[in-house]
Structure 1
Amino acid sequence: MMKAHQQRGRTHTSLPSLITLVAIVSPLASAVPSLTDDSKCECYLTNGTQASFFATHEFLDFRNLAEHAGIPPTITKPNDSGSAPVTSEYFTSKEWTEAFWVLSWNNSHQIREDATVLMVNSPNNVYIEANSDRNPSSQTWLTLRTQRLKDFQTASEIESVAPGFQYLSVRMLARTVGSPGAITALFTYRDADRLADVQESDLEVRTMDPRNTIQYTNQPSYTEEGEEIDHATKNVTLPPGHPDWTHWAVHRLDWTPKETVWYVDGTEVATISFQTPRDPSKVILNAWSDGGEWSGNMSVNDAAYLQIQWLEIVYNATDENPAKRKRNDSGVAAVMPRERDEDGEGGCDVVCSIDETPEPGKPVMLWNNGAMRMVGGGLVAWIPSLVTFGMLALISGGLW
Structure 2
Amino acid sequence: MASMSLQTLLFIVLQVLGHVACLQEVSDRDCNCYVTNDTSLNYFTTHNFFDFRSLGHYARVPGPIEDPIEDSSAPLTSDYFHDDHWAKVWGIQRWNNSEAVASGDRPVLMVNSPNNIYIEKNTDESASSETFMTMRTLKFEDHQSAAEFESISMAYHFLSVRMYARTIGAPGAVTAMFTYKDDGKATKLVTVQESDLEIRTMDPKNKVQYTNQPSFAKGYDVPEATRNATTPIEADWTRWSVHRMDWTPTDTTWYIDGNQVASIAFQVPRDPSQVIFNAWSDGGEWSGNMTEGTEAYLQIQWIEIVYNSTGNAKTTDKRDANAASLLSNVKRDGEGCQNICSIDETTKTGTPVLVQGAAASRMPDRILGLGLAYIWIPLLLATFLI
TM-score (norm 2): 0.85
Q: Which deviates further from its counterpart, 314-323 or 39-48? A: 314-323
Contact 2:165/2:242 (<8 A) preserved = yes
Distance 1:113 1:263, change over 3 A: farther
Q: Which residue matches 2:162?
A: 171
Q: Which deviates further from its counterpart, 190-199 or 149-158? A: 190-199
Q: Which residue matches 1:295?
A: 287
Q: In the TM superposition, what is the alpha-carbon distance from 1:379 to its structure 2 partner?
A: 1.8
Whether 1:149 aligns to 2:144 is: no
* Residue among 339, 342, 345 paired with 1:356: 345
Distance across 1 between alignment mates of 2:121 and 2:342:
30
SS at match of 1:95: helix
* Residue among 205, 209, 213 paired with 1:211: 205
Distance across 2 between alignment mates of 1:27 and 1:269:
31
Distance 1:216 1:27, change over 3 A: closer
Distance across 2 between alignment mates of 1:66 and 1:376:
35
Distance 1:195 1:28, change over 3 A: closer
Q: Unmatched 5+ residue regions in structure 1? A: 1-22, 382-400
Whether 1:261 aligns to 2:250 is: no
Distance 1:215 1:28, change over 3 A: closer
Distance 1:82 1:28, change over 3 A: closer
Contact 2:33/2:336 (<8 A) preserved = no
Output one character per residue of 1:179-209: Cα deviation in whole Å (capped at 9) or x when no partner.
0000000000012313212110000000000
Contact 1:187/1:203 (<8 A) preserved = yes
Distance across 1 between alignment mates of 2:369 and 2:82:
41
Q: What amino acid maps onto 1:277 in structure 2? A: P
Q: Which residue matches 2:316?
A: 321
Q: Which residue matches 1:244?
A: 236
Q: Which residue matches 1:4?
A: none
* Residue among 348, 354, 371 paired with 1:365: 354
Q: Unmatched 5+ residue regions in structure 2? A: 1-11, 376-386
The percent identity for this pair of structures is 50
Contact 1:191/1:199 (<8 A) preserved = yes
Contact 1:325/1:334 (<8 A) preserved = yes
* Residue among 61, 67, 91 paired with 2:51: 61
Q: In the TM superposition, what is the alpha-carbon distance from 1:31 to its structure 2 partner?
A: 2.5
Output one character per residue of 1:123-180: Cα deviation in whole Å (capped at 9) or x when no partner.
0001000111111111110110000111110000000111100000000000000000
Distance across 2 between alignment mates of 1:378 and 1:105:
49
Q: Which structure 1 residue ranges, 4+ long, deviate > 6 Å from structure 2?
A: 26-29, 322-325
Contact 1:325/1:336 (<8 A) preserved = no
Q: In the TM superposition, what is the alpha-carbon distance from 1:237 to its structure 2 partner?
A: 1.1
Distance 1:90 1:29, change over 3 A: closer
Distance 1:266 1:120, change over 3 A: same
Q: In the TM superposition, what is the alpha-carbon distance from 1:308 to its structure 2 partner?
A: 0.3
Q: What amino acid maps onto 1:107 in structure 2? A: N
SS at match of 1:96: helix
Q: In the TM superposition, what is the alpha-carbon distance from 1:260 to its structure 2 partner?
A: 0.2
Q: Which residue matches 2:8?
A: none
SS at match of 2:293: coil
Q: Which residue matches 2:299?
A: 307
Q: In the TM superposition, what is the alpha-carbon distance from 1:325 to its structure 2 partner?
A: 6.3
Distance across 2 between alignment mates of 1:187 and 1:157:
11
Map 1:71-90 onto structure 2 (within 5 A).
Answer: 71-90=61-80
Output one character per residue of 1:332-358: Cα deviation in whole Å (capped at 9) or x when no partner.
x972243768xxx62311110001111
Whether 1:122 aligns to 2:113 is: yes
Contact 2:172/2:281 (<8 A) preserved = yes
Distance 1:27 1:277, change over 3 A: closer
